[in-house]
Structure 1
Amino acid sequence: MAESNKKISAVIVTYNRLDLLKESLNALFKQEYSLSHIIVVDNNSENDTKEYLESLGDKIDYLRLPENIGGAGGFNKGIRYFIEETDDDYLWIMDDDTIAHPDTMKSFMQYADQNPDFSFLASKVLWKDGSLAKMNLMGYMNGRRIPDSEKNVVQTRNATFVSLLIARDIVEKIGLPIVDFFIWGDDIEYTERAARVRPGYYVPSATVTHATKANFGSSLLNDSADRTPRYYYHYRNKMYYARQRKLYRKLRAEVRPWLDYVNILFSKTENKKEKLAIIRKGVKAGLKFNPTVEYAKKKND
């Protein structure tokens, strides 16, 4: 097979996780398929992160933001930079705790070169012990979970920003992630927006490790009390992107918060009163939440 001549940018959004960020960047520096740009969006981290990133010089494109505008805002800025400041063909989007394997981009491009008619490609995401990362489980188009045993490239409805390759023309067409999401669901909304233009696919050979502290999915019922307030964004944002779906999936997504509510109501979870209140608050806000989708200018426009 002829070697691809497509140019790739990568974008990482980081906030005060320097050790993980170093590991993530080192994995990008060692990719078997070389990257043209590595864009690091720093959500106003402490000085240790700033000093490290500045020390890398022209190995990266460093965007330090004046304040923390959340993961959604950071990805908005990074993807805008990709469109406005580079002419690269694809953008590889990832969190600062994504550890790519040496052949991750090579595997993406082996598929992309033969099958370029896609909006996005998503990695198989493992946890540190080699099992599937429960925070990043993927689904077939029929909604069933994609198992660890799946070896074929398959179509999927949405994906996370843990490791996602998106085509430049798709970004130009659909715009940028929604800043007002702040955290939670910005990647699901964005990839579903992309998949309405062209199909998105799960590529199991393009594997990464998601170096979270523990391997569990998001669950207000089981999460610690100190994390309860952030679930406001989960429920508010879900109500928005549910409205963009067709009827069955829309109704299913709108019912889900109330199933969570009932489970918590009859559970022995700590901080029950606050957890129930955050669901009510998030769903109520989501009914009126109508954020703006921004678009980047094409380079040289």
Structure 2
Amino acid sequence: MTSTTDRLAIAIVTFNRSALLAELLDSAARLETQPFRVVVVDNASTDDTPAIIESYRDRFADGVLVNHRLDINTGGAGGFSEGTRVALDHGAEWVWLMDDDVEILPEALERFAPWMERFAVLHGRRYDVDGSPFFWQAKFNQFLGVPLPYTSKAFNPEGYAITNSGTFEGMLIRADIVRRIGLPDPRFFISWDDAVYAWLASRYTQVAYVDAFVLKRKREQRQINLGLRHLNDSSPLAKYHVMRNRAYVGRYFAEHGQLNRVGFALGTALTFAKEVFRLVAVERSLKGVGVLVKGWRDGRTIWRDRSWRPMPALSTSPGTGEN
């Protein structure tokens, strides 16, 4: 008897965090229902990541673990684009996308299974590092072009909420939706890529956030709890791209006739203000302001690029690849 999880591939993107990756692979190997594939995209790590991946090969059935190493670091966006492609090439019907700093709960696939009968794009819930519930709830405000948080009360009596945003720390997407909207856009490098990808999917199907815990966050970060959301520290690279990539968000919105230029400009200003608040409240510094400004300015080049096109749909269904 077949199940919705029978051809589910887990796509993991990793870069120089072998200890965290080992914990994640250990949790994947202990799942009550084994995944169809575990695709690890190594973003040109310079630590012992390749050896760690190979050390887990015997923990999975033959051919399940796929070690896909890239020649250069393409960022999370490039890694998830490649991971999705490889998973579909191997014949996956679902792709579960996740960073290397989470742990999969043993019953995760069983908890997802009934929801997979109903929705084509899913997010489950996560525990924070300390074991408390980590609230990720975000929905794009179409006028501002920014995802705004909502509370756990947004779950309806059936245990789910419909959204139009997403995160690659646990997005589960069906292969036919990937073929329709294309692969995740590697040009983002990091930041906004997952939110836009779920937004694109929401143009064709419902994107659901379900009240089922499936992951636990493992990486400790400086953060403050604002009630409606947690605000973590971020790297200079992330600061730069969170502002630069606003231009990519706007280009996708415009492509689908959903861009309100006045509202989007206001949303960009609010994003800048949020990032400055992050610097002051979480990182106790203003040193990153210049990086934010540079990212905002560099986004203008993307706006002016007449050759820009969105990621294309996958015109043909990928075939089953070799292990």
Q: Give the Cα–Cα distance (whole angstroms) in 1 for the partners of residues 272 and 209 of structure 2.
A: 30
Give the superposition deviation at 1:110: 1.4
Q: TM-score, normalised by structure 1?
A: 0.83
Letter in 2 for 1:172: R
Q: TM-score, normalised by structure 2?
A: 0.78
Q: Give the Cα–Cα distance (whole angstroms) in 2 for the partners of residues 267 and 13 of structure 1.
A: 29
Letter in 2 for 1:87: G
Question: Are residues 183 and 268 of structure 1, via their aligned partners in 2, closer, same or farther at CA, if it must alter by over 3 Å?
Answer: closer
1:102 to 93, 102, 106: 106
Question: Are residues 284 and 209 of structure 1, via their aligned partners in 2, closer, same or farther at CA, if it must alter by over 3 Å?
Answer: same
Letter in 1 for 2:289: L
Judge which range, 103-112 or 285-294, deviates more. 285-294
Query: Counterpart of 2:73?
Result: 68
2:311 to 281, 289, 293: 293
Question: Are residues 271 and 100 of structure 1, via their aligned partners in 2, closer, same or farther at CA, if it must alter by over 3 Å?
Answer: same
Query: Counterpart of 2:264?
Result: 250
1:190 to 194, 197, 203: 197
Question: Are residues 293 and 29 of structure 1, via their aligned partners in 2, closer, same or farther at CA, if it must alter by over 3 Å?
Answer: same
Richer in strand (by share) = 2
Give the superposition deviation at 1:222: 8.0
Contact between 2:139 and 2:163, CA under 8 Å: does it hold in 1?
A: yes
Q: Give the Cα–Cα distance (whole angstroms) in 1 for the partners of residues 265 and 183 of structure 2.
A: 26
**Residue deviations 1:187-240 (CA, integer Å, cap 9, x gap):** 111111111111100012142111121363799x9847xx33431111111232
The runs of 5 or more residues in structure 2 that have no matched partner are 58-62, 142-147, 303-307
Query: Counterpart of 1:177?
Result: 184
Query: Counterpart of 1:279?
Result: 292
Q: Give the Cα–Cα distance (whole angstroms) in 2 for the partners of residues 39 and 4 of structure 1.
A: 19
SS at structure 2 position matched to 1:250: helix
The runs of 5 or more residues in structure 1 that have no matched partner are none
Give the superposition deviation at 1:31: 1.8
Q: Give the Cα–Cα distance (whole angstroms) in 1 for the partners of residues 32 and 265 of structure 2.
A: 44
Judge which range, 65-74 or 286-295, deviates more. 286-295
Q: Give the Cα–Cα distance (whole angstroms) in 2 for the partners of residues 253 and 24 of structure 1.
A: 35
Judge which range, 123-132 or 60-69, deviates more. 123-132
RMSD across aligned C-alpha pairs, in angstroms?
3.3
Q: Give the Cα–Cα distance (whole angstroms) in 2 for the partners of residues 145 and 153 of structure 1.
A: 13
SS at structure 2 position matched to 1:240: helix
Letter in 2 for 1:139: A
Query: Counterpart of 1:120?
Result: 121
Give the superposition deviation at 1:99: 0.7
Same amino acid, percent of matched pairs:
27
The runs of at least 4 consecutive aligned structure 1 residues that moved more than 6 Å come to 264-269
